[in-house]
Structure 1
């Protein structure tokens, strides 16, 4: 008899799974890269396949912070977690609005959907990653060694980007062509943020002067949210010397004017005599 009951239960459970099959649980985070103290919406899409919803649970890592249960009153429940502020007015069974987001929320978020198909529960989950950032307040700056520069000289430069989290990734370009650095990037901490510094030591060849003036740029990037650059026109001994034709012409014109005045003066003297 027990064997028959188990068989019937198995057949019934299989039937329920075929009729009520939870599908396509998908979590999206908008935006996934969030500025500190801003907000983000976590959306959980799912197909219940006619099954009644039992609950939707939201996790940061392994910690549950929000749950929606349609049979409970109230339907929504918050579980306190440092750094998480849930806006209940904009949250429901398919989304959660997080406000005033802090750095500790960088990491995995999950939504877990459960359907009520007694005697079994069907559960599915999806996980996505959020990154919380702080962007630099100002663009990068460039400083260089001696100028003017010539073929055979070594161009020494430093690029610094103000504190951010994560620290900015820096690169140098000379005349719009990326140049390699000779020293590794160093970082200086300031509270929860880090400066970014990049050193350059580049021996200059005739190739670098082939395009005329030397234009040095430094590009700073923090994820896809921030890109800024600094540009500096370097002095070169090979810069073209300004023409002085206009100055010569002005002197020649002045001399011609004086000579003409002298000729007129002598002519007037001859006439008067």
Structure 2
């Protein structure tokens, strides 16, 4: 047993000094790589969710290189580079020719870029790419979407075909918004309560954009007693395009259902005008059979309306 152990020890190769040096250098390089790969931290890009067309916008890109020098900052619109900042070059900043993109170099730098007179066509994805200096040039990129909106040049208008309806009838209401882009968000209210979901009584249609970006929102209401407060239903549409613009339109619908007192009064008045029949055998009729039929038919109609 001891002889076998000694033989194994003799067969083992002893690393040369050069191999040891190579191993140490390799470990050192791995440690440097690990440090460099984590040198770009806490990267944050700030791009507005939406702006008005024609406005000036500043987008920022914050990062922490952990004492590693910056190599470059690059900005992209829909993957097309429009601005670059490299500290080692002179001048360090450069704007590229991209259609409709107008970079304000005086307000742009290593942490921000400013665009002037931004048109609606520049809605899209904006990205910031940060690269640390050599030898590893670690790079990270973040992006965000921005909408450039054309706002309406007027208030919304509400159209109602029938402003007086009987309970049980359907009312169709339309809210028209002047030219805008993108399609605005429309919220409906009945008696100041938001109508959230479609139901058996309410149908909300998707807002449609037409020529010249005019938008139309529609709602259909199958009326019932709960929709009216003292015989009046108040309906309103609130319109918004992000936080850039808001508008509202309101109108009223009145309950035009027959009232019990009106029906009874009309029936009794007609009965008083009917002639008195005096058939033979001394019998005296004070009411016509048709009056009785009319009275009960009218009364039945009133109850049907009341039960809806």
1:150-209 CA deviation, whole Å, 9 max, x = no partner?
32332222211111111123243221234533655432121xxx2111233322111112
On the 8 A contact 1:16/1:117 being kept in 2, the answer is no
Instruction: Choose which of 37, 61, 82 in structure 1 pairs with 2:54.
Output: 37
The 5-angstrom pairing of residues 100-115 of structure 1 reads: 100-115=117-132
Q: Which has the larger radius of gyration?
A: 2
Q: Are 1:224 and 2:243 an aligned pair? A: yes
Cα contact 1:154–1:201 (8 A) shared by 2? yes
Residue correspondence of structure 1 range 1-273 to structure 2 within 5 A = 8=25, 11-12=28-29, 14-15=31-32, 17-18=34-35, 21-29=39-47, 31-118=48-135, 120-179=136-195, 180-181=202-203, 183-190=205-212, 194-237=213-256
* SS, match of residue 117 in structure 1: coil
- Does the 8 Å CA contact 1:181/1:198 hold for their aligned counterparts? no
Whether contact under 8 Å (2:127, 2:142) holds in the other structure is: yes
Larger strand fraction of residues: 1
Which runs of 4 or more aligned residues in structure 1 lie more than 4 Å from their structure 2 counterparts after TM superposition? 1-7
Describe the SS at the equivalent of 2:179.
strand
CA shift, 1:16, in A, is 5.4
- CA–CA distance in structure 1, aligned partners of residues 109 and 63 of structure 2: 14
Query: What is the TM-score when the length of structure 1 is the normalising length?
Result: 0.76
**Cα shift at 1:135:** 1.4
Number of aligned residues: 233
Alignment root-mean-square deviation, CA: 2.5
Q: 1:171·1:198 contact (CA, 8 Å) conserved in 2?
A: no
Which protein has the bigger helix share? 2
TM-score (norm: length of structure 2): 0.68
Show structure 1 runs of 5+ residues with no match.
239-273
Cα distance in 1 for partners of 2:73, 2:20 equals 35
Q: Residue in 2 aligned with 1:252?
A: none
**Whole-angstrom distance in 1 between the partners of 2:84 and 2:125:** 17
**Distance in 2 between the 1:37 and 1:6 partners?**
61
